[in-house]
Each structure stands twice: as C-alpha cells, then as structure tokens.
Amino acid sequence: MAAPQDVHVRICNQEIVKFDLEVKALIQDIRNCSGPLSALTELNTKVKEKIQQLRHRVQELEQLAKEQDKESEKQLLLQEVENHKKQMLSNQTSWRKANLTCKIAIDNLEKVELLQGGDPLRQRKTTKESLAQTSSAITESLMGISRMMSQQVQQSEEAMQTLVNSSRTILDANEEFKSMSGTIQLGRKLITKYNRRELTDKLLIFLALALFLATVLYIVKKRLFPFL
C-alpha cells in the first residue's frame, strides 16, 4: 500500500501535467487569434490563471520534496521540480511570442479593413484607438510575463541553493565517515599491537620463571647433594 505522501506526490505531478497542457493549449489559441482585442485579453487572463495554478502545484511539489526522509528521493523530486520550472519558463517565452504574433495579426487585419474603404478619417481614428489599446494590452501582458519569469528565475536559484546545501551536507557526512574509518583502523592496529605485546610479555615471563626455577633447583641440588 502506497504511503499518503507518495499519493500526494503522484496527484501533484498529475495536476502539474494537466495545467501545463492547458497553458500550452491557451498559448496556441493566442497564436491563432486574429482579434478582436477583447478576445486576446480574455485568453491572456485565462493563461495567467493557469500559470498561477501551475506555479502553486510546483511549489507544493517542492515542499513535498523537502519533506522526504530519504536523501535519494528528495534529490529526485527536487530535480523534477527544476524540470517543471524550466518548462514554465519555456511556456512564458512562448506566451510572449504568441502575444506578439497576435498583435501582428490584429494590425494586419485592421490595415485590410482600412483599405476596404469607408470614412478615412473615422477609420484612421478607430484604427489608432484600437492600436493604442492593443499595444497597451500587449505591453501589460509582456510586463506580467517578465515579472513571472523573474520570480521563476529566483525560485530556480533558491532550488539550486537547496541542492548545493544538500550536496555539501552529503560531502561533510562523507568526510566524517572517512575520519571515523581512519580512527577505527588506527584502533584496530593498536589492538593488534597490544595483543602481540601481551604475547611477548607472557613469553618473557615464562622464560624468567623457567630460569628462576632452574636456579632454585641448582641451589637445592648443591645444598642437599654437594657430592653430585
């Protein structure tokens, strides 16, 4: 049975994929849009909402990654988060290009309508107003995209810093393990040396005891049996 946290991670990933596909579909709609300005504004509003939802899910996945007990699983999820952030940056770049494409299409359509006739003065005035509104909307959208990309870059830097800190922790633990291994090896050598020294001491004691007994026997022999 899967752990609740694993289920949460799976659901979060599924929602990220879903929102990402919806953002791509809306960007394609903007790319194909030829006006009017209200349609472009409505599509940009939907894209902003979906990107915001996508960002929240990516942040949620990042938090889940930091809560993992196993370092390997934590690093794997953080790498997935980094990939999702790169994909979000790519979507935002495509969004900006799609807005520019739509603006060109609207401009071309208005030029065609102007050439088709009608009151030139009125057409010119209408065209200028429409172009001003379109340019204002595009500028606002581009500024919004720029702000989002800046936030995304900052979040990517924070995620990278987290990875660096985790790597440093692993390296420190590895160095500590190497130090402990050296200490253990030194202790093993000292124990081996002590065992050898103990064996040598026992041998010397045995030889001294044998020499002492031999001396005692010699003295006893000379006292009791001087003629021998």
Residue with tokens 């990278």: 160
Instruction: Let me know if residue 144 belongs to a domain.
Output: no
CB 20 within 8 A of CB 54: yes
- 60: in domain: yes
Structure tokens at 154: 């900052």
The amino acid that residue 222 corresponds to is K
pLDDT-derived band at 49, boundaries 50, 70, 90: very high
Percentage with pLDDT > 70 across the chain: 70
Q: Which pLDDT score, from 0 to 100, does residue 3 have?
A: 60
- For residue 99, the domain's CATH number is 1.20.58
Residue 1 is predicted with a pLDDT of 43
- Predicted TM-score (pTM) of this structure: 0.50
Position 129 in a domain: no
Residue 45 lies in a domain: yes
| 13 located within any domain | yes
pLDDT digits (tens, 9 = 90+) for 177-214: 677 777 778 778 878 877 778 788 788 888 888 888 88
pLDDT of 107: 79
pLDDT, position 67: 86
Number of domains observed in the structure of the chain: 1
Distance CA 5, CA 64 (A): 8
pLDDT in tens, 111-152: 776 676 544 444 445 545 555 565 566 666 666 666 666 666
More confident residue, 44 or 111: 44
Q: Is the pLDDT reported for residue 23 higher than 90?
A: yes
Length of the chain: 228
In angstroms, what CA-CA distances link 144 with 57, 61, 94, 141? 20, 24, 14, 5
Within-domain flag for 178: yes
The reply to whether 138 falls in a domain is: no
Residue 98: domain span: 4-115+159-182
Express each pLDDT in 147-175 by its tens digit: 666 666 666 666 666 666 666 777 676 67
- Looking at per-residue pLDDT, the higher value among 216 and 168 belongs to 216
Q: CA 105 to CA 88: how far, in whole Å?
A: 25
Q: 54-58, 89-93, 124-128, 165-169: lowest mean pLDDT where?
A: 124-128
Tell whether 199 is covered by a domain: no
